[in-house]
Structure 1
Amino acid sequence: MKLTWQCMFSPRLYKIYKDGPRDSLYQPEGIEKWSDKVITMANTILNIGLYTSPFICFYIYKRGFFSLDETRTIIRYVGGLSCLIALSYILRGIGRASNPKYVDFLKALTSPVTDQKVYLDALRKYDFDFQAWPATYTLPPKKSSTWLEKHPFSSCANGDLPLYKRMTVQVLAYIATHTFALRLIYPGSLGLVHNLLRSALFQGRTQLVEVFDGQRTKLKTADGNEIDTMFVDNRAQSPKGKILVICCEGNSGFYEIGIMTTPVKAGYSALGWNHPGFAGSTGLPYPEQEHNAIDAVMRYAINELGFEPQQIVMYGWSIGGYVATWAAVNYPEVKALVLDATFDDLLPLAQNQMPSSWSLLVKEVVRSHVDLNIKELIAQYGGPVQLVRRTEDEIICLRQGQLASNRGNFLLTRLVEARHPELPASALESLQKHVALLDSQRAAMERTELDDNAKAPLKLISKYMRDYRSSHCTPLPEDHFDAILTNLTAKY
C-alpha cells in the first residue's frame, strides 16, 4: 500500500538510458498506460479552462446556469469527473507499483543520500519530469530589493516627455513587458514552443547522455529559480578537455539542440544550461534572473566541477552573448569570451521589428525592463575576445542582405574604442568604414601599399572579429570553433 501511494503521485518516467534503442521510451503498460492518459487529458483540460475561465464564467452567467437546479447539475458533473480522476490516480499507482522498471526508478529517486555522487549516478540513468529532480547545487538566497526601492517607475527612458505622456508610456511598458514583450524577446520561454520542440529536446538530451556521457544537474539560484544544466566531461578523453566551454543559448535555444555539441565534438568539456523559463528551468528571462542563473552556473563550474576561472571559456550565441559577456565581466579571469552572431544593443533591433509609431513604447520596454546592452558590458572586459559575424545573418542585420547593417559591426567598434583609446579619430572613421567589408576584401586591402594609419584599423578588425559565411541559425562547425580558441591563445 505504501508503494502504491508513492507511485500515485511520483513523477512521470520518460526513458531509461541505454535500455534498448536510443529512440525507445519507457512504456507504461496496462492500467498504468490508460490511467495516465486520463490524468494527462484532465490536466490539459484544466489548463485550458484556467486560461479561458473569464469566458466560461461569462457564458455560464449568460445562459443562466447560476440557478439552484443548474448548480446541482454542474456539481454532479464535477463530482463525477473528480471520482474518475481519483480512480485514475489509484489505478496508475497500482500499475506503476507492478512495473519492476518503474519501481527501480522510484527507489533511485527516493533513496537516502549518503553519498551524493553515487545517488546522482543512479538517478542519471533515467529521464523523468525535471520538476522532481533534486537540486544538488544551491546558492544561498540573497536579499532582494523591495518594491519601493526598485519599483518599475523609478526610471524613465523617455525623460524629455511631458509628465502625463511619460507616465502613460511607463504604465504601458510595464504591462507590455509582463504580458507579451518579454516572450517576444525570448520565444523559448513560451510553453507552446517547448511543446512543439519536446521531441527534439528529448532526442538531443538522449544524445548528450548516451553518446557523450552527459551529466544532468539541477542548480538553485540565489533568487530561488531552478536551472536545468548538462555537463560533458572530456578531461580524460582529450588534452583540450581541461578547458570548459560554458554555452549560452539564443532566445529560442536550448542546450539539448543548441551550440553545446560544437565544443564537445571539438574535444572540449562543455556545460550547457537553459535560460529561466526555458524547458526545465523555472522563472522568466528578465535580466536580473539571467544574471542569477549564469552566476549559479559559474559557481557550479568552479566549486563543484573543479575548473579554475582561467580554464573557462564563455561561449554566447545570439542573445546568449548578453549573459556570456556579463559573466566575463563579473569573472574577469576567464580564459576567453567568444560571441557568435551577437548584437551590440537590443534597442535598434527591437525598433527595427516594430512599427515606428511604437518607438517610444519599445524604447521604454527595453531600457527600463530588458536592457540587453552588450556593447557597454564588453567595454568593461579586458580579456581575450573573438566575435564571429555571420555574413548572411538575417536576424541581427537591420536591412536584409546588407552586411554594413549587421549589429555585430557596432559591437566591434565599441570594443576597439574601449581597448584602444589612443587611436585617432581618423583611424576610428576608417575602422567604421572597413568593418562593413568581408574578411577577404580586407585581406586584399592589407596586401596593397597602405600607410600604418590605414593598416592599423584593418589589423584590429582581424584581431577581434572573423567572418563565417552562413545564416544566423546554422551551427558553427567544431573545426571552426577549435580554430577560434587556438587563434585566441596565439593572439593574446
Structure 2
Amino acid sequence: MGGMKKVIHCIFGPSLYRVYSDQSDGIYKPGHLEKWGDQIINSLVVMWNVGIYTSPFLATVLWRRGYFVIDGVTTIAKFLTGIGLVIAVSYYLRGVGRASNPVYTTFFNTFLAAKKNLTRDNKRALMMYDFEYSAWPVEFKCEKKGESRPWHPPTRRSALAYVMGLPCHVASYIVAHTFGLKLVYPGSISMLQYAMSKFLVEGRMKLVKEHSGERFKLQTLDGNEIDSMFIDKRNRHENGNILVVCAEGNAGFYEIGVMVTPIEANYSVLGYNHPGFGGSTGTPYPDQEQNAIDAVMQFAIQRLNFLPENIILFGWSIGGYSTSWAAAQYPKIRGLEAALHISHSLLMSSDRMKPRESNLSTNRGNNLLVKLLRYRFPEIVENEQFTLLHEYLSLDTQKQGE
C-alpha cells in the first residue's frame, strides 16, 4: 500500500482503544500526531453535542444579536469554514500518526482481513483488539420475527374518549420524541456515554481477558446493530449449559452491568446493549427494544445452539420490559427474572405498603397487582376471580403454597 493511500485509509479507519496482550496493560498508546488530531476532533464533537442540547438558547442569542441577517450569516459561514479547515487538518494529522504507528498498522491489517473474510481464525485475531464498534463486522442478521405472538394490552375506550384524549396523545408524542426518551433512557445520551467510555472499555477488557468473552454484532429486523458479549461456560461448569440473557437498566451497559451475577454463578451469559446504548445503534423506542431482544434470542437459539428450554431471561429495572416481551414471544424458555431496584421506594412507601402487617389483605401492593391483572387480562380477571385472587393474596406464604 502506497504512503498517501495508507494515510487516507488510516484517516477513516476505526479508533483503537485496547490491545489484549499479556505483555502490557493493554492501553493503546497513539503517537503525538494522532493524539493531537484526536483531541481536536473529540473536543469539536463534545462542542457539537453541547450545541445540540442548548440549541434553543443559542438560536435565541444569535437572533437577538442579529446573526440571522445577511451580514450575520456571512460571519457564521466564515466561522464554519474555519472550523472545517481545522477538522480537515486534524483528520490528516490523525491519519499520518496512525500510518506511522506499527501497533495501529498491524491492527488495521487484521481488521481489513476480517472485514474481507470473517473466518474463525480472523475473528480470533480481531478479538485481540478493542476498537470503534461501528466498524465491527455484522455476524448475525435477523431476517424475520421469531415466535411472533400479539402482545398488546386490550382497550375498552370508546371513540368519544379517544377523541377527547387526542390532545394528550399529541402532547405525549412530542414529549416522548424530544426530551422524554432521554429521561427514561439516560444511557442513550451521547454525553453520558462519552463520560463513561473509559469504564466501558475496561469492563469489556475484563470480560474478554478474565472470562474469555466473545463480542458479536447482531443486526435486527429494522436494521439496527446490537453490541453483544457472550460468555461460554458449557461443558465447564454444572450451570454452563444454561444461558442467561441479560437486559440492562435505563442507564446500564453490559460492560459494567448485571452480567457479573450469572457469571459468578457459572452460567453461560449473553449480554447486550439497548438500541442507542454503547456500540448499539438505533433509539430505545418500544418497537426497537422488541426487535433488539428478538435478534438476541434468535442468535442464542440459531447461532449459539441453546434450546429455549435452557434459556433464562434476566431483566434489570427497565430491562424487565424487554425480557417480559421476549418471554411472551418465547414461552418455552426456562425462566424469567425481572429485578427492580426498589429499596428507596420501600423506604418512602413503608407507611403505605405495610409489608410486615400480619393481615396482608391491607397491603396496597395487592391492589396495584389486581389492577394490573384486570387491565392486562380483562376477560379473565372478573368479579368472581377477583374475589378468589383477593383471598389468595391475603394468605401468608406458607398457606399460599398449600
TM, length-normalised to structure 2: 0.82
Q: Out of 139, 144, 156, which is 2:142 matched to?
A: 139
Deviation at 1:272, TM superposition (A): 0.3
SS at match of 1:2: helix
Q: Deviations over 1:162-189 (max 9, x none)?
A: 6764221121111122123333332322
Deviation at 1:310, TM superposition (A): 1.8
1:398 and 1:406 in contact (8 A); partners too: no
- Structure 1: state its 5+ residue gaps: 143-154, 342-389, 436-441, 447-454, 461-492
CA distance in 2, matches of 1:195, 1:39: 13
2:49 and 2:191 in contact (8 A); partners too: no
Deviation at 1:80, TM superposition (A): 3.2
CA distance in 2, matches of 1:181, 1:193: 16
Q: Deviations over 1:33-90 (max 9, x none)?
A: 1121111122222333344445445444433446766655554443333222212211
Q: Deviations over 1:125-162 (max 9, x none)?
A: 111121222211112278xxxxxxxxxxxx99975866
Q: Out of 358, 369, 375, which is 1:410 matched to?
A: 369
CA distance in 2, matches of 1:225, 1:396: 37
1:398 and 1:407 in contact (8 A); partners too: no
Q: Which residue is 2:394 aligned to?
A: 433
Deviation at 1:295, TM superposition (A): 0.8
1:221 and 1:227 in contact (8 A); partners too: yes
Q: Which residue is 1:90 aligned to?
A: 92
Deviation at 1:94, TM superposition (A): 0.7
CA distance in 1, matches of 2:157, 2:328: 28
| Map 1:279-358 → 2, pairs under 5 A | 279-341=278-340
Q: Deviations over 1:287-317 (max 9, x none)?
A: 2111111110011111111212222111222
CA distance in 1, matches of 2:371, 2:347: 14
Q: Which piece of structure 1 moves more, 402-411 or 1-10?
A: 402-411
1:290 and 1:323 in contact (8 A); partners too: yes
| Map 1:8-407 → 2, pairs under 5 A | 8-18=11-21, 20=23, 24-53=26-55, 55-65=57-67, 73-111=75-113, 112-140=115-143, 159=158, 165-341=164-340, 393-395=343-345, 399-400=349-350, 402=353, 403=355, 404=363
Gap change, CA 1:186 and 1:78, over 3 Å in 2? closer
SS at match of 2:251: coil
Gap change, CA 1:223 and 1:141, over 3 Å in 2? farther
CA RMSD of aligned residues (A): 3.5
Gap change, CA 1:33 and 1:425, over 3 Å in 2? closer
Deviation at 1:269, TM superposition (A): 0.5
2:46 and 2:191 in contact (8 A); partners too: no
Amino acid at match of 1:429: H
Gap change, CA 1:424 and 1:87, over 3 Å in 2? closer
Amino acid at match of 1:209: V
Q: Which piece of structure 1 moves more, 46-55 or 313-322?
A: 46-55
What percent of counterpart residues are identical? 40
Q: Deviations over 1:348-382 (max 9, x none)?
A: xxxxxxxxxxxxxxxxxxxxxxxxxxxxxxxxxxx
1:12 and 1:128 in contact (8 A); partners too: yes
1:396 and 1:406 in contact (8 A); partners too: no
Amino acid at match of 2:306: F
Q: Which residue is 2:358 aligned to?
A: none
Amino acid at match of 2:392: L
Deviation at 1:196, TM superposition (A): 3.7
CA distance in 2, matches of 1:109, 1:318: 36
CA distance in 1, matches of 2:124, 2:159: 59
Q: Which residue is 2:9 aligned to?
A: 6
